[in-house]
Amino acid sequence: MTVIAFLGAGSVVFTRELLADILSFDELRGVTLALHDIDPERLETAEAIARRTAEQLGAAPRITTSLDRRAALDGADFVINAIQVGMHAATVRDFEIPAKYGLRQTIGDTLGVGGIFRALRTFPVLDGIAADMREICPDAWLLNYTNPMAMNIGYLAATAPQLKAVGLCHSVFWTVHDLCALLGVPLDEVDYRAAGVNHQAWLLRWEHRGESLYPLLDERLAADPELRRRVRMDMYGRLGYFPTETSEHSSEYVPWYLHHDEEIARLRIPVGDYLRISADNVAEYHETRRSVLAGEPLDVSRDATEYAPQVIHSIVTGTVRRVHANVANRGLISNLPEDYAVEVPCVVDRLGVRPERVGALPLQCAALNRAFASVGQLTVQAAVTGDPRMVRQAAMVDPNTAATLTVDRIWELCDELTAAHGDLLPEALRG
Give the span between the Cα atoms of 348 and 45, in whole angstroms: 32
Neighbours of 276 (CB within 10 A): 10
Give the span between the Cα atoms of 78 and 158, in whole angstroms: 21
Q: Are 19 and 53 in contact (CB under 8 A)?
A: yes
User: Residues at the annotated binding site for substrate?
Assistant: 147
User: Residues at the annotated binding site for Mn(2+)?
Assistant: 169, 199
Packing angle of the helix pair 40-57, 12-24 (nearest 10 deg): 30
DSSP assignment, residue 107? Answer: S
User: Residues at the annotated binding site?
Assistant: 147, 169, 199
Give the span between the Cα atoms of 52 and 369, in whole angstroms: 43
Angle at 313 between CA 180 and CA 62, to 5 degrees: 125
How many helices (H) and strands (E) in the chain? Answer: 17, 13
H helical segments located in 58-193: 69-73, 87-100, 112-136, 149-159, 171-183
Give the span between the Cα atoms of 252 and 400, in whole angstroms: 6
Q: Is 313 a catalytic residue?
A: no
Give the span between the Cα atoms of 126 and 116, in whole angstroms: 15
Give the span between the Cα atoms of 46 and 146, in whole angstroms: 18
Catalytic residue among 170, 177, 259, 260: 170
Amino acid identity, position 45: T
Measured in degrees and rounded to the nearest 5, phi and psi for residue 246 equal: -60, 165
Q: Which residues are catalytic?
A: 170
